[in-house]
Amino acid sequence: MPATPAVPDGKRPTLADLATRAGVSTALASIVMRGAKGASAATRERVLEAAREIGYRPDARARLLRSHRSHLLGVQFGLQHPFHADLVEGIYATAEPAGYQIALSAVTAERGEQRAVETLLDDRCEALILLGPQAPASRLTELAGQLPVVSVARHLRPPVPGLEVVRTADDKGARQAVDHLVALGHRAIAHIDGGKAPGAADRRRGYRTAMSRHGLTEHIRVVPGGLTEAEGAEAAQVLAASRPRPTAVLAFNDRCATGVLDVFLRSGIPVPGAISVVGFDDSHLARLAHIDLTTVGQDIPRLAHLAVDRAIARLDGRDTGTGEQVVAPHLVVRGTTAPPSTAPAT
């Protein structure tokens, strides 16, 4: 084939460029690239070879728009949350085989949830999957009235009309953590909570319930914390200075627990020798060898699968009622928990 320059420098190859390169009509090039019937094997191979030569790729977004469907799921996520990153990976793994693409929009310190959602709406997303949304129920109700919306990892009371919820049984996870620590022999177990973060109220309630069930009501201690390492570190400083010091800590999440571990390390308080630490999420952060964090695992593949499934179900008209899918957590024991030391706190 003669080396015909079909594409101007720096421009994305078009279907017309491909047809010129292959020496066929634009209609025939389109038939080949769509995988439709009507082209001979030789012509098909010639067009595909030309596509490889000039780097032509069909514009999937334009094709979908022409069909009046975007097949695009918008995902709002927190940029600084390892748990959200793990969920996004699972969402891709479920959505792409189902024929849907993903548009991501991050929430950062300078970019709020409203802006993140507006960007997804501007991209003509057909449904939204919101990871740990903190927007008021009224805003979620408004969104759910416009398009299918799935909230992940937030327990809403009362339920929001039209909103799908996929979450972990956070209270059960906190109870599992306390049960584990009590089985090791701990009694003075503190909880660093997540304030108003999604899941915080349920984890706080689960902690209190488990402590009471074990007859440890007098040892209940909830320390203000949050989602980040810095907030975990601030709470850990309070615990490190307290007398008597608790022998175990349940942190709100793995990031918070990482801040706790850092403060204890710098303060010369060995973990788990002098104090045990449990996180929540089982994010990739907890699995790092130098952290080796005992944590409450959320079933990330299951949460991601359900979130995508519920969004697509709404789009297909298979479910028009408000629904909540609750996934069981599981304790993952690693190296930050052990029986309490008999030595007094120093």
pLDDT tens, residue by residue, 113-123: 999 999 999 98
Confidence label for 9 from pLDDT (cuts 50, 70 and 90) = low
Strand partners for 78 = 107
The whole-number pLDDT of residue 13 equals 86
Lowest mean pLDDT among 143-147, 179-183, 262-266: 143-147
pLDDT at 2 over 60: no
- pLDDT mean over 181-186: 98
pLDDT at 299 over 60: yes
- 3 phi/psi in degrees, rounded to 5: -80, 85
CA distance 36 to 301: 35
Lowest mean pLDDT among 37-41, 216-220, 280-284, 334-338: 37-41
Lowest mean pLDDT among 34-38, 125-129, 225-229, 254-258: 34-38
Indicate the SS3 state at residue 211: helix
pLDDT tens digit sequence for 23-73: 988 888 888 887 777 888 899 899 999 988 888 877 655 555 554 567 899
Confidence label for 269 from pLDDT (cuts 50, 70 and 90) = very high
- pLDDT mean over 267-275: 97
CA distance 82 to 286: 10
- pLDDT mean over 142-159: 92
On whether the pTM is more than 0.85, the answer is: no
Radius of gyration of the chain (CA): 26
